[in-house]
Amino acid sequence: MCVVTGLSLLFDHSEKYNADPLHNLTQQQVTGHSTETALVRVMNDLLRAMDGGNLSILTLLDLSAAFDTIDHQILLDRLHLSFGLSGTALTWFQSYLSDRTQTVSAGSHTSKTSTLSLGVPQGSVLGPVLFILYTKPLSTLISHHSVSSQTFADDTQLRGSCPPDQLDSTIRRVQDCVDDVKRWMTCNKLKLNDDKTEVLLIHPKNKPLPPSVPSSISVGNSDIKLSSSARNLGVTFTDTLSMDKHITNICRSAYTEIRKISSIRHLLSFDATKTLVCSLILSKFDYCNALLTGIPQHLTDKLQKVQNTAARLIFRAKKHDHIQPLMQQLHWLPISSRIIHKTANICFNSFTDPHFLVYLSELLHPYTPSRQLRSSTDSRILSTPRTKTKTTGDRSFSFSAPTLWNQLPHPTRHCKSSSTFKKSLKTHLFKSAYNT
């Protein structure tokens, strides 16, 4: 039986969709899910809570060697009892997991071969899927505490939002949830790393916190101090949801790569330099840039400055040479347009793909006018929810995505295929950016 057939059998026997959307990859197409789509939903919910005047506790759980400690027998029992696998399909997975060995090589020396009784192969297609199936009961356990959760492979996040006067009870609820998660993991041979777990108290920047805010919360046997920032799936989150620190980290990393490429630029052709810049620098701008919608202009300008430097590096141009002709020749969109491009693609997929990510598509609603208008015949207009603040509510995906989408030209919004839409969208954004 091939891998695809085995996976399809899993999906056909999966349980009903529940409150934890990212923990239900077995219910939907595997394609399309990413760290970015997970973080878009997390950021949206936190921004909406802040816009409503609420505080949020975000707990980022850290597992030690998560893929390496999965018990094979527990996994097989779960596949059989929870997902209905039996017969040939279950035997296939049993064969896949059994008789695995490993050795360690250092120079000319190689260790003895050891049999692996635990763990699933990392870097494989099945590894993350099997881990998700193994930890499936966690979503039910977490929901019993009325705590929201978001899971991506071995990364689990817990969120609790509340008015300021209910902060104490919300913190206790999150702590009780973490304690239960830790006990469950111990019983299932997974290890929650208390010391590396991070907690953020998300709050408005210009409003004072309640005087009863604790300096730390208990996670297992450790007291975890509230952090002002933390790395979340490669993105730096701060306790005010400002992207300043994340932008600073991107710029620092990008300039490091620029210096490295610059030192060997005289040895590289134009095309080789462009390839290096696209893979090592532009990729940093595009990673999770859907989270950057609505950020202050000065932060976008910081990223744009780095992109301009990268373009000059490719052409070996001087610092004060005009940048627009270089950007046009490279056919690069500026940073603000790249953000729009990413967000608009998510909106397009929600219209055209019936299996598109539920946890994002449920944030987008077709516009229904209260009376007959000219726009009422346009089936691809999105409703924009009301918000209270530009710095939080207007940055949420549920507000910013419909706003950007509705501003696109009618022919672009009504493209039939994804490839046609991307081409039309880039043409529109390119012309808008460079007035061509």
38 token code pair = 């997970």
For range 360-369, the mean pLDDT: 89
For range 89-114, the mean pLDDT: 89
20 token code pair = 């934890």
pLDDT surpasses 80 at 321 = yes
**Distance (Å, whole) CA 387 – CA 294:** 13
Angle between helices 35-51 and 397-406 (to 10 degrees): 110
For range 329-336, the mean pLDDT: 97
The bridge status of strand 198-202 relative to strand 55-61 is antiparallel
What predicted TM-score, i.e. pTM, was given to this entire model? 0.87
29 token code pair = 């197409």
CA of 403: how far to CAs of 37, 367, 399, 427, in Å? 18, 12, 6, 19
Query: What pairs with residue 219 in β-bridges?
Result: 222
For range 337-357, the mean pLDDT: 92
**First and final CA of the chain: distance in angstroms?**
54
Q: Any idea which residue has 């693609």 for tokens?
A: 345
> pLDDT grade, residue 23 (50/70/90)?
very low
Task: State the chain's mean pLDDT as an integer.
Answer: 88
399-428 residue pLDDT tens = 999 999 999 999 999 999 999 999 999 999
The kind and range of the H/E element at 127 are helix 126-134
Neighbours of 252 (CB within 10 A): 10
Cα dihedral 112, 115, 119, 122 in deg (nearest 10): 50
Q: What's the one-letter identity of residue 186?
A: T
- Contact call for residues 422 and 342 (beta carbons, < 8 A): no
Q: Any idea which residue has 């932008």 for tokens?
A: 247
pLDDT for 263 equals: 97
Neighbours of 75 (CB within 10 A): 20
pLDDT for 373 equals: 59
259-311 residue pLDDT tens = 999 999 999 999 999 999 999 999 999 999 999 999 999 999 999 999 999 99
pLDDT for 3 equals: 41
Cα dihedral 140, 146, 151, 154 in deg (nearest 10): -70
pLDDT for 374 equals: 59
CB neighbours of 176 closer than 8 A, spacing ≥ 6? 145
For 167, what's the count of Cα atoms within 13 Å in the CB-facing half-sphere?
Answer: 19
- Exposure pattern of 343-369 as b/e (b: 16+ CB <10 Å)? bbebbbbbbeeeebbebbbebbeebee
47-60 residue pLDDT tens = 999 999 999 999 99
249-271 residue pLDDT tens = 999 999 999 999 999 999 999 99
**Distance (Å, whole) CA 295 – CA 279:** 25
221-246 residue pLDDT tens = 778 889 999 999 999 999 999 999 99
31 token code pair = 């394609």
For range 352-367, the mean pLDDT: 88
pLDDT surpasses 50 at 18 = no
